[in-house]
Amino acid sequence: MSRHQTFLWSNAQLIPSEATPVESVVVADSWRVEDGKVVALDRHLERFFTGIEPHTRLHESSREFVDAVLGQLPTEGSWFPRIDLIGTGDQWTFRYQLRPRPAVTDWAVLATARLDPRKYPRTKGPDLEALLALRGEASERGADEAIIVRNGYVCEGAYSTVMAWSPDRRTLYSMGPQEPRIASVTESVVADIAHTRGVTVVQERFRPDDLDGLEVWVLSALHGIRHAVSWREGPSLLAPSGIRDDYQREWLQRGAPASVEISGERK
């Protein structure tokens, strides 16, 4: 039976743990596993290691920890594992959570977040609980995702990033580098797919009203690409064109066995 399992890294081993008092999450990452295959796992791990870099004494053990995690990833079924560096009392510990994959959808309703709670907007992990609360507030308004608007511009979703198509569908826009946000692995893969199809990918700031009449996507490692079908009290978004389904298929097809990342020279 698929169930949530938690492990702590201790004495170079993954030790099962029922409950751990977590005071803080320093760095985190997660990815979707389908029958042992993961899309862009190397990029997820690079993002995790980049977050670990300021903690130099943990850097070498972080790679041993990740190799142990990859060695335990299931090769069958649908999963959504998460790795963290957490603060527990007076020490830091690596944690691995093997989680069954939640339900996924191909569309989402958006709502503008009432505030920006992020304290570490470029690092995945420390703000996850605050962002989860933000999504909960959006859910009470009938939305699936809260979109953070900073300085009047779209920044990112609580657990996603935002991309939009030009009316002629020759250009795919991401939300630009001016506003701080987490580097999105899924966005980078979708940009790669677009490039192979001759589509221009541009980073450009957008206000919510600039998205009126455009096809808008929200991207995450769990869902891949979701079409934004509406925005509560926001811009009027274009109905699905079918492009999303095509890109989603290719995104999933780029999944590779996690085993290629274990030990030796990572590929």
Full-model pTM: 0.94
Contact between 144 and 108 (Cβ < 8 Å): yes
Q: What are the tens digits of pLDDT across the range 17-53?
A: 987 777 899 999 999 999 999 999 999 999 999 999 8
**Rounded mean pLDDT, 136-161:** 97
Domains of the chain in sequence order = 5-102+257-261 (3.30.470.10), 107-253 (3.20.10.10)
Q: What are the tens digits of pLDDT across the range 55-85?
A: 767 877 899 999 999 999 999 999 999 999 9
Which tokens go with 115?
A: 């505030």
Does the structure show a pLDDT above 60 at 210?
yes
pLDDT at 2: 64
> Does residue 62 or residue 267 have the better pLDDT?
62
Contact between 216 and 163 (Cβ < 8 Å): yes
With a CB cutoff of 8 Å and minimum separation 6, the contacts of 195 are: 201
Distance (Å, rounded) from C-alpha 254 to C-alpha 22?
A: 35
Strands (E), 101-179: 107-112, 145-150, 153-157, 161-165, 171-174
Does the structure show a pLDDT above 60 at 147?
yes
**Helical H runs in 115-205?**
128-140, 185-196
Q: What are the tens digits of pLDDT across the range 217-261?
A: 999 999 999 999 999 999 999 999 999 999 999 999 999 999 766
Which tokens go with 251?
A: 């995104």
208 phi, psi to nearest 5 deg: -50, -40
Does the structure show a pLDDT above 50 at 101?
yes
Which tokens go with 170?
A: 């020759």
Beta strand 82-88 with 91-98: parallel, antiparallel or unpaired? antiparallel
Conformational region of residue 222, where left means phi above 0, alpha means psi within -120 to 50, and beta covers everything else: alpha
Does the structure show a pLDDT above 50 at 8?
yes
Distance (Å, rounded) from C-alpha 33 to C-alpha 264?
A: 22
DSSP string of 217-251, one letter each residue: EEEETTTEEEEEEEEETSPPPPPP-SHHHHHHHHH
